[in-house]
């Protein structure tokens, strides 16, 4: 791949987004970098919405001939990690929603994209960070206990049916711990094998 800035203009994209003329790209990227460097967790604004604006701004500049989406998401993740958050993965199944959120951000409404970023951060906290730091007997949301062997939906169903020891907390979430999930999985395998 060639990562020099593009040297030609690009036609407007579906939905109306029109990248700047190619001579403006270096200046727009310098401005974008200044905006990125100014981001902190304590600047008094909603961080995820600000990151959505910054991510959408990169995509609007569309500085390269190819790979702008992947590069933009990678840069978003570098900023998230710099701020102490886990990276966000935009799954293939969420591509249409992501593109719609980008179009809304281009139109001045970054809320949907900010929400996608926030949910992605939360999902990765539950999936990777919480299990890594939680004691085996600590109650954590079921999403933090899901694995390749058992999904969050399967754990929730097992909790509702009383097959998995779990606590339904006041916030509406089911919580369990690694020990209880291991017991449930062992008993499930015994039932399947009988």
Please tell me whether the overall predicted TM-score, pTM, comes out greater than 0.85 for this model: no
CA distances from 84 to 51, 53, 116 (A): 14, 19, 18
pLDDT at 15: 74
pLDDT at 1: 46
pLDDT at 102: 93
CA distances from 45 to 18, 39, 42, 128, 164 (A): 27, 10, 8, 27, 41
How many of the other CB atoms lie within 10 Å of CB of 168?
Answer: 12
Residue 62 designated active-site: yes
pLDDT at 127: 77
Q: Say which of 46, 55, 62, 168 is annotated catalytic.
A: 62
What is the overall mean pLDDT for the chain? 90
pLDDT digits (tens, 9 = 90+) for 37-57: 999 888 666 899 999 999 999
Q: For the chain, which residues make up each domain, given as ranges?
A: 22-130, 135-193
Span 22-130 CATH architecture? Orthogonal Bundle (1.10)
Low-confidence ranges of the chain (pLDDT < 70): 1-3, 43-45, 191-194
What are the start-end ranges of the H helices in the chain?
25-37, 47-61, 68-82, 95-106, 111-124, 130-133, 152-160, 178-193
């Amino acid at each position: 791949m060639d990562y020099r800035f593009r040297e030609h203009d690009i036609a407007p994209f579906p939905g109306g987004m029109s990248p700047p003329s190619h001579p403006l790209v270096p200046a727009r990227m310098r401005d974008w970098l200044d905006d990125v460097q100014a981001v902190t967790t304590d600047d008094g604004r909603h961080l995820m919405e600000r990151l959505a604006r910054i991510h959408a701004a990169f995509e609007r500049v569309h500085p390269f001939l190819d790979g702008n989406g992947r590069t933009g998401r990678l840069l978003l993740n570098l900023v998230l990690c710099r701020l102490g958050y886990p990276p966000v993965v935009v799954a293939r199944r969420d591509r249409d929603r992501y593109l719609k959120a980008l179009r809304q951000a281009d139109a001045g409404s970054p809320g949907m994209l900010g929400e996608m970023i926030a949910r992605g951060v939360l999902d990765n906290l539950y999936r990777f960070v919480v299990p890594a730091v939680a004691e085996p007997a600590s109650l954590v949301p079921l999403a933090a206990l899901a694995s390749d062997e058992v999904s969050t939906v399967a754990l929730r169903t097992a909790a509702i049916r009383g097959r998995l020891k779990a606590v339904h907390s006041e916030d509406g979430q089911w919580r369990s711990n690694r020990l209880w999930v291991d017991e449930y999985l062992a008993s499930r395998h015994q039932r399947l094998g009988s």
